Amino acid sequence: MRDVAIIGVGLTRFGERWEHGMRELMAEAGIHALEDAGITSKDVEVVYGSTMASGRFIGQEHVAALLSDQLGFKNIPAVRIENACASGGSALRQGYLAVGSGMHDIVVVGGVEKMTDVTTGEATTALGGAGDQEWELAQGITFPGLYALMAKRHMHDYGTTEEQLAAVSVKNHLNAVNNEYAQFRKKISIQDVMNSKMVAEPLKVFDCSPISDGAAVAVLAPLEIARKYNDTPIQILASSQASDTLGLAEREKLTEIKATQIAAADAYKRARMTPKDIGIVEVHDCFTIAEVMAMEDLGFYEKGKAAKAIADGETALGSKLSVNTSGGLKGCGHPVGATGIKQAWEIVTQLRGEAGQRQVSGAEVGMAHNVGGSGATAVVHIMKRAN
């Protein structure tokens, strides 16, 4: 395998983008990424486009070809990647493998979702397809309900409190204040979270990531030629993926996501690193309990210890381990097809030292962790500044 680097990234503002459709969001992020990489559309050899439910949201399938068309890539291979909320991370992994194998030199990976053109109920139904339709959704469970079951079990087994879960949201909103692309740039308090409307006990509105529109794009190239295009390439040290049962009832435990544990262990091995080597991490906080479990499953804390650590400020911006500096899914937004690539965008921005007021001093190694559904898919990438 060749060493692989990210040489360009682009992002749109996340949120309720009523003024733009999917095409415009794709083009906006893509143009930024190509300019950042110092390339033109003629340099690109293949594109991987990720979206979870564009057919349900806007009636548009065949999204990879549309992405290729909008960015002026003529007649090159274009492949759609769908892996629920882990679609973006999965597309990044496919791009990594395409470059690492030697098959292609310049690869574009893009993720997009336009979610606000339908009602909340319709969006909830579309997102529910990331779970087990026959044994979960058809029986009346929702995704907040699935994660609520995880939260209740975590509280039962480890004494995790609702206030500790609320601290996750408070931290991520605070980080989002200084992210110009974030959906919610407003500080909130523990009490704000506790007073928000109950969605599925114990999860409240402010424990849940929002419905969002947005797009993210990254450009990959072999590390050996990366500086031909960009002075600050970011090397992908490891790309790992694992899966688990689609339905929650078949899992070994409700307080862990086994796919995350397996993908993380493989990523650490490939990167020749341990959790102590990671300085910044973007984890998949679709719900506050998801961040708590991720911090444990990724090996940063023992099982049952992460909630208190987060509430105590151990993962705040500028700490030994800075978590979700972008604002995460909760503060920055969660257009599901774009999220995994947005996470990479944030890590690249931090490792370049270009994150402005949310910059982590001395950031050298970062991780992106993307989850599909209630944990049936997990993708982990470890990156560092290229030597």
Q: Both 85 and 141 in a single domain? A: no
The CATH number that applies at residue 59 is 3.40.47.10
For this structure, is 334 an active site residue? yes
Which pLDDT value is given to residue 387? 80
Separation CA 110–CA 309 (nearest Å) = 34
| Bridge partners, residue 132, by sequence | none
Spatial contact of 185 and 329, defined as CB atoms under 8 Å apart: no
Which pLDDT value is given to residue 74? 86
Q: Both 8 and 151 in a single domain? A: no
Q: Please report, for residues 29, 199, 317, 351, 374, the alpha-carbon distance to residue 333 in angstroms, rounded to integers and kept in the order given.
A: 16, 18, 18, 21, 18
Which pLDDT value is given to residue 98? 98
Which pLDDT value is given to residue 378? 98
Q: Both 148 and 263 in a single domain? A: yes
Q: Both 112 and 190 in a single domain? A: no
Tell me how many domains the chain contains. Answer: 2
Q: Both 373 and 241 in a single domain? A: yes
Catalytic residue among 32, 85, 104, 286: 85
Read off the amino acid at residue 6. Answer: I
Name the residue range of residue 106's domain: 4-119+211-234
Which pLDDT value is given to residue 239? 98
Catalytic residue among 32, 154, 173, 334: 334
Separation CA 369–CA 340 (nearest Å) = 8
For this structure, is 85 an active site residue? yes
Cα 324 to the center of its chain, rounded Å:
10
Reading across the β-sheet that carries 365-372, which strands appear in turn?
78-81, 46-50, 107-114, 213-222, 4-11, 234-243, 377-385, 365-372, 280-282, 322-323
The dihedral through the CA atoms of 316, 320, 321, 325 has a sign that is positive
Which pLDDT value is given to residue 124? 86
Q: What is the pLDDT along the chain (387 residues), one digit of tens a residue?
A: 999 999 999 999 999 999 999 999 999 999 999 999 999 999 999 999 999 999 999 999 999 999 999 999 989 999 999 999 999 999 999 999 999 999 999 999 999 999 999 998 899 888 888 999 899 988 999 999 999 999 999 999 999 999 999 999 999 999 999 999 999 999 999 999 999 999 999 999 999 999 999 999 999 999 999 999 999 999 999 999 999 999 999 999 999 999 999 999 999 999 999 999 999 999 999 999 999 999 999 999 999 999 999 999 999 999 999 999 999 999 999 999 999 999 999 999 999 999 999 999 999 999 999 999 999 999 999 999 998
Cβ-based neighbour number of residue 291 at 10 Å: 29
In this structure, the chain runs to a length of 387
Q: Both 170 and 182 in a single domain? A: yes
Q: Both 254 and 302 in a single domain? A: yes
Q: Both 49 and 80 in a single domain? A: yes
Pick from 39, 387, 28: which is nearest to 219 by CA?
39
Q: Both 85 and 175 in a single domain? A: no
